[in-house]
Amino acid sequence: MDYRILTDQEIAQFHRDGYVLARSLFDASEMELLHRAREIDSAMKENVHAVDDREGGTVKLALWNEAGGDIYGLFSRSRRIVDSAERLLGGEVYHWHSKMVQKEPYVGGAWTWHQDYGYWYYDACLFPEMLSVMIAVDPANQENGCLQVLKGSHRLGRIDHNLGKNAEQAGANLERVEAAKKVLELVYCEMEIGDALFFHCNLLHRSDQNRSPRPRWALISCYNLASNTPYKESRHAAYAPLEKVPDEAIKEFGLKLEDKSFYQGRGKTS
């Protein structure tokens, strides 16, 4: 089976809008493996980091730095993702970190407006040559708190972020966000299982609470340009070559889990 990477048209859309949505990048049998992993992976459940949103909701997430040989790592290292990321950033990339975002029915929390580089800047990366890829494990819609973006906001550059006591929900300067909302289109990124959203590290994004009876889980893998490795030690890994795997590897290796080093750091998500 031939797997695709992003087309020239999709690359152009990413640079214009700050994001691009690749529909059905992963098929039903591949996504079923992630669903089964959700059911049986005790380590994922035991290492969740709960983040309150100050509105009565809570987001649970598990974070890790290394893209290993288990089912999660195979997604992160698949050529359709990594080759596309390298086309978008214009060079070799490496795995920055991954996270499983878990918005449970009725209680899944919201995330305030932020840019990923608003935080990664403090991880000693000089340039905003970074991106994230969100893979929908469950359908995502307005009712269950899908990602919202300000189209083209990556062109604003890095906005100051409040890194105060509530660092988990620190957000972008709201005065500037409100000004941006007056001139940029707000887009709800509704996704089906297996869709993948590629978005720039300076794209302003947020999400609402999950008010539905259905979960909204998403696997998010983040990538940094190899030449943009942190200039000093940080909570994320410095550059190391990323071993890509053929796209067939997901089905060939199947539901494989492994011990991984989770961390409870100041992980920002959506």
Residue 97 included in any domain: yes
Residues 75-117 have pLDDT tens digits of 999 999 999 999 999 999 999 999 999 999 988 888 889 999 9
Count how many domains the chain has.
1
Q: Give the residue numbers spanning the domain of 103.
A: 11-253
Q: pTM value?
A: 0.93
Inside any domain, residue 4: no
Lowest mean pLDDT among 20-34, 39-53, 180-194: 39-53
Residue 1 lies in a domain: no
pLDDT band at 266 (very low <50, low <70, confident <90, very high): very low
Q: Give the integer Cα–Cα distance in Å for 39 and 49.
A: 18
268 part of a folded domain: no
- On whether residue 269 sits in a domain, the answer given is no
Query: Domain of 42: which CATH number?
Result: 2.60.120.620
% of the chain beyond a pLDDT of 90: 74
Span 33-58, pLDDT tens digits = 999 999 999 888 888 888 887 777 88
Question: In this structure, is residue 197 part of a structural domain?
Answer: yes
- Tell me what pLDDT residue 2 has: 64
SS (H, E, C) the chain: CCCCCCCHHHHHHHHHHCEEEECCCCCHHHHHHHHHHHHHCHHHHHCCEEEECCCCCEEEEEEECCCCCCHHHHHHHEHHHHHHHHHHHCCCEEEEEEEEEEECCCCECCEEEECCHHHHHHHCCCCCCEEEEEEECCCECCCCCCEEEECCHHHHCCCCECCCCCHHHCCECHHHHHHHHCCCCEEEECECCCCEEEEECCCCEEECCCCCCCCEEEEEEEEEEHHHCCCCCCCCCCCCCCCCECCCHHHHHCCCCCCCCECCCCCCCC
pLDDT of residue 43: 84
20 belongs to a structural domain: yes
Tokens of 124: 């000693």
